[in-house]
Amino acid sequence: MLSMELFRNDADKIRADHDKRGITHERIDKVIELDQLWRNALKDMEDGRRERNQAARGIADAKKSGDMDSANSIMAQVKDLGERIAALDEKANSLLEERDVIRMRIPNLLHDAVPVGDDEGGNTQHSLHGQKPDFSFEPRTHNELIEMNKWVDLERAAKIAGSRFFFLKGDLARLELALQSYAVDFLIDRGFTLVQPPVMMNRDAYEGVTDLSDFETVMYGITPDPLYMIATSEHPLTSMYMDEVLEPSILPIKMVGVSPCFRREVGAHGLSDRGIWRVHQFTKIEQVVITHPDDSWDHHEDLLKNCLDLWNALDLHYEVVNICTGDMGTVAARKYDLEAWLPGANAYKEIVSCSNCTDYQANRLHMRYRTSEGNEAVHTLNSTAVATSRALVAIMEQNQLEDGRVKVPECLVPLMGGKGHLEPCKW
């Protein structure tokens, strides 16, 4: 959420950002209007309190002089003032709530380097990594590979949980665990602390990290409890310090989170999204940084470098893209995506998102750090390290052999008990 100081002192900066995104200014103007009405109500309420305090002193003087008629008259006046103050207080609270509901829908300010574009077609290539695999045979899709090797059981999972859930079996299940272990160790070596978060969050915390009006449709709610299943460990880790003032000495806080993630993934999707690419439950290893504002852009590049080094170690071909204005969500100020090459789909598809959210989430979460001049909002950043189901798809399609087996990335072989290939499951 953008600070009110920005609306009051530099609203044209927000308007210019909206122009980049191709959105109108109505919400900006409404926030400014409601803020002024709220401030007016506060002033009227303060004036009423002063008048009431003055009248109260008049009651004491009247009683002291024995003029009960005057005392009674002033008490009636005080009662009227009290009712007026209560009404103004209710009005002020209502205006404040309405102002901030709208303010929470206004997106973050974009970094100057974000390319301008209407949709994902406006994204630009940042860099290209690895060699595109060359096959002497027609490469299979991951759907074909998991079916012929019996590594995934979609039908039986659907029987007990519904579509887009799966049983992961045999060597592919072991490879998923190896990916988790490798990614966690990799980030611990780079100064991150392992954190396993709760997999449920309340609404207040969730509204702090994302725009629920956009995101709620893909989330699972828990009935009758007012909780949501997490869509990524970024959300609980980022909100871990909500409503707190942090000592600057502990910054930056660098966390690697491991958790199951739950998403509805509503709507129709293409053939390449089937199998285990777009599912309702998956495991993700996430990087989260809470830092001083002066350091956040350096941390953004560090998060990206961690991703590059990790995915280069897996020896996979992928590209990095700069997300454009029209493809940017509400929260991030700048975002990189890593897109892996999927030979079976003949396309690059997203495997990592790396975002700097600046002070946007911190303002929503009331998360600050202590300064000598007053408390200031921290900056928050997040990046996927590995979403394991999508990593498995990329490994299967890029490392497939003609007989249907899959070569294990060399860095994961020790975590597979020395096994260099994924063998079929017998059942």
Per residue in 252-271, pLDDT tens?
999 999 999 999 876 655 66
* pLDDT at residue number 161: 95
Judge whether 332 and 356 are in contact, CB under 8 Å.
yes
* pLDDT at residue number 53: 74
Q: Helices 170-188 and 142-149: crossing angle, nearest 10°?
A: 120
This prediction has a pTM of: 0.91
What's the rounded Cα separation, in Å, for the pair 311 and 313? Answer: 5
* pLDDT at residue number 91: 95
Domain ranges of the chain: 4-103, 120-422
More confident of the two residues 76 and 360:
360
pLDDT range class, residue 50, cuts 50, 70, 90: confident
What's the rounded Cα separation, in Å, for the pair 149 and 143? Answer: 10
**Which of these ranges, 16-25, 51-60, 66-75, has the smallest mean pLDDT?**
66-75
In 107-197 the beta strands, taken as DSSP E runs, fall at 124-129, 152-153, 167-168, 193-195
In angstroms, how far is the first alpha carbon of the chain from the final one? 51
Reply yes or no on whether the pLDDT at 70 is more than 80: no
Task: Please list the helix, strand and coil fractions of the chain in percent, rounded to the nearest 5, in that order.
Answer: 50, 20, 30
pLDDT range class, residue 410, cuts 50, 70, 90: very high
CA-nearest of 296, 288, 287, 256 to 376 is 296
Neighbouring C-beta atoms of residue 124, cutoff 10 Å: 11
Judge whether 210 and 235 are in contact, CB under 8 Å.
yes
Query: Which amino acid makes up residue 322?
Result: N
Q: How far is residue 150 CA from its own chain's centroid?
A: 35
Judge whether 259 and 372 are in contact, CB under 8 Å.
no
In 292-408 the beta strands, taken as DSSP E runs, fall at 318-322, 334-342, 347-356, 368-369, 376-377, 379-387, 406-407
SS3 270: coil
* pLDDT at residue number 223: 85
**Predicted confidence (pLDDT) per residue in 201-252, tens digit:** 999 999 999 988 777 788 899 988 999 999 999 999 999 999 999 999 999 9
**Which of these ranges, 267-281, 293-307, 349-363, has the smallest mean pLDDT?**
267-281
Averaged pLDDT, 293-320: 98
Averaged pLDDT, 104-120: 95
Q: How far is residue 170 CA from its own chain's centroid?
A: 33
CATH architecture of 4-103: Orthogonal Bundle (1.10)
pLDDT range class, residue 59, cuts 50, 70, 90: low
In 216-365 the beta strands, taken as DSSP E runs, fall at 221-222, 227-229, 245-246, 253-262, 281-291, 318-322, 334-342, 347-356
What's the rounded Cα separation, in Å, for the pair 326 and 117? Answer: 5
Reply yes or no on whether the pLDDT at 57 is more than 90: no
Structure token pair of residue 263: 């998403």
Reply yes or no on whether the pLDDT at 78 is more than 80: no
Reply yes or no on whether the pLDDT at 74 is more than 70: no
Please name the helix (run of DSSP H) or strand (run of DSSP E) that holds residue 421, with its range, or none.
strand 421-422
* pLDDT at residue number 81: 73
Reply yes or no on whether the pLDDT at 125 is more than 60: yes
**Predicted confidence (pLDDT) per residue in 170-209, tens digit:** 999 999 999 999 999 999 999 999 999 999 999 999 999 9
Structure token pair of residue 94: 């209502």
Tokens 């280069």 correspond to: 312
Judge whether 406 and 400 are in contact, CB under 8 Å.
yes
Averaged pLDDT, 113-134: 96
* pLDDT at residue number 271: 60
What's the DSSP call for residue 132? -
* pLDDT at residue number 61: 63
CATH architecture of 120-422: 2-Layer Sandwich (3.30)
Mean model confidence pLDDT for the chain: 93
